[in-house]
Structure 1
Amino acid sequence: MDFETIVYKESPDEGIAWVTMNRPQKRNAINKKMILEMGEAFRQAEKNDDIRVIIFNGEGPCFSAGHDLSAEEQYPSTSEERIIWERKYYFDEIMYLRNIRKPLISQVHSYCIAAGLVLALMADIVIVSEDAVFNDPVVRMGANSQEVMILPWVVGEKKAKELLFTGDSLTAHEAFRLGMINQVVPREELDTAVYEMAKKVALMPPMAVSLVKESINNTLDNMGFTNSMKMHFASHLLSHSTEEARNGMGNHKRGDLKKYFDERDKSFKSSI
């Protein structure tokens, strides 16, 4: 199957599928087309009984720079349109990725920002290169973080507040120390490390693995995971209507992105 913004590959004999973001010239900035194509690819892998594990990665200089904020991307202008848009293309697709009935491995290198961060952390296993950098700068732009707030669940309350209150970044080794990711390897060993993990998981009985994943996800749901995501999503949508968000997230429409980001981050030591 041909896609414009991703590459989808299967190796049925090994039981592995790859979903690769493929907008390297845009640093894999995530647009509507990519969201639709990724959804189609993940569903194809989930339906194929020969596929036992899915690898999610990005082509080019980094994993993902987050949402595509360029001028050619047409974002909703009314609250009603934004609710429909973000529910369909962001919240529902992110939660689908979390609950996909096959093990999912994220392979992260270099920058993993905002929407890219959330997508990567929806995976069951996250393996990263030593140059990986994790960041959610959306609060700096006047909105209540991403559509799904995963950080408190993977780094704990205090560190999540620090990261979101400041917009600061995490290095790969800091993320590993906090338990946010599974492995850190040299950049040149990343492909091999992920592939070896995928092969190991693919050897396991697929129904048992699927049920284990569901049990662990249900455990987190009993602790409030899904309801917390729903409540956060409502707050995130509300934050878009504030003057802070209009002055922040709307600024990129009035000038080039580099100028906007430089202005946004000039008061901070850590910038993305």
Structure 2
Amino acid sequence: MICTETSYETFTLEEVRTGIVLMTLNRPERYNAMTNTMFRELEQAALELNDDDDLRVVVLTGAGKAFCAGFDLADADGLPGLGALGMLDQQELAARALLALRSMRVPLIAAVNGAAAGGGLSLSLAADFRVASTQAKFNAAFVKIGLSAGDLGTSWLLTRLIGPAATSEICFTGRMVGAQEAAALRLVNSVSAPEDLLEDALRAAEAIVANSPGGVQLSKRALQANMEVSSYAAALELENRGQALLSRTSDMSEALAALKEKRSPIFTGA
């Protein structure tokens, strides 16, 4: 049983199926826009969830019509007066939240139910993959408010997902990208009817839960780490260590036994 008893002001946590936690941004009246409170709570929740050995997958979505509208403009008036170091502190507060989410050892699926704008796009990019409603839309409209698309990992992650030319055009124009275009660009893995989105995301989560916990977690570690290494040899070195560790687990022995006995494996994470 995953502990989700901590109460948060800006989102809810619920274990909706065994090993699967649904995190729902819960500021629908502000289109789930980000605040400093949300940044602090996201970081805290990610760190606490990461310590729970029963957790297998987190699904992130938004309440109401939007996924996340980016930084709450009601709080933005004071940003120009912060000074350079004050603004750096502000950026690092936000960045720590997204880094904590992305760094969780279990997969994070973003179920994008509506607009993911600015920092909301960045938040969706922090997930390991995204499923979208037909009502989802994305933009990196930082340039429209005098800021850079080099924000909260967008310039690094979006380029790797859809390529430098498509990223440049989207970021320089600040235009909106609809769900179907997002799928064609491979920004999202699939598009669902609004009423089916959450169920489709949970179905993907259940497919992950059916596999060995250690295998999934070290796969995530390898996939993320090898986006950052500079050589094939370095990637192989990291992969070799992960496979060596996993071959010592009882889950691998169980998987081989189940294959021989023509049954489904029972994974314990040991």
- Normalised by the shorter chain, which TM-score bucket? 0.7 to 0.9
**TM-score, normalised relative to structure 2:** 0.78
Alignment of 1:196 with 2:203, yes or no, is: yes
Q: Which residue of 2 aligns with 1:50?
A: 54
Contact 1:24 1:59 in 2 (8 A): yes
The secondary structure found in structure 2 opposite 1:204 is: coil
Alignment of 1:216 with 2:219, yes or no, is: no
Stretch of structure 1 that moved more, 136-145 or 210-219: 136-145
- 1:100-158 per-residue CA deviation (whole Å, 9 max, x = no partner) reads 21111101012110111111111112111011100011112222112322321111111
**TM-score, normalised relative to structure 1:** 0.77
Question: Once superposed, what is the RMSD of the aligned Cα atoms?
Answer: 1.7
Deviation at 1:71, TM superposition (A): 4.7
- 1:201-230 per-residue CA deviation (whole Å, 9 max, x = no partner) reads 112111111100111111101159xxxxxx
Q: Which residue of 2 aligns with 1:9?
A: 14
- How many residues are matched? 222
Contact 1:63 1:116 in 2 (8 A): yes
Alignment of 1:94 with 2:104, yes or no, is: no
Stretch of structure 1 that moved more, 109-118 or 68-77: 68-77
- Choose the corresponding residue for 1:110, options 110, 114, 124: 114
Contact 2:69 2:116 in 1 (8 A): yes
- Choose the corresponding residue for 1:122, options 126, 150, 155: 126
Amino acid at match of 2:128: D
Cα distance 1:223–1:65, how it changes in 2: closer, same or farther (>3 A)? farther
For 1:182 and 1:57, the matched residues in 2 are separated by: 15
The secondary structure found in structure 2 opposite 1:62 is: coil
- Identity across the alignment (%): 28
The secondary structure found in structure 2 opposite 1:105 is: strand
Q: Which residue of 1 aligns with 2:169?
A: 162
The secondary structure found in structure 1 opposite 2:227 is: helix
Give structure 1 regions of 4+ aligned residues with deviation exceeding 6 angstroms: none
For 2:131 and 2:76, the matched residues in 1 are separated by: 33
Contact 1:133 1:169 in 2 (8 A): yes
Cα distance 1:118–1:18, how it changes in 2: closer, same or farther (>3 A)? same
The secondary structure found in structure 1 opposite 2:228 is: helix
Alignment of 1:125-136 (within 5 A): 125-136=129-140
For 1:166 and 1:45, the matched residues in 2 are separated by: 37
Cα distance 1:73–1:210, how it changes in 2: closer, same or farther (>3 A)? farther
- 1:246-269 per-residue CA deviation (whole Å, 9 max, x = no partner) reads xxxxxxxxxxxxxxxxxxxxxxxx
Contact 1:108 1:128 in 2 (8 A): yes
Q: Which residue of 2 aligns with 1:61?
A: 65
Amino acid at match of 2:50: E
- 1:47-96 per-residue CA deviation (whole Å, 9 max, x = no partner) reads 11111111111111110111011058754611111112211x12222222
- Choose the corresponding residue for 1:78, options 80, 83, 91: 83
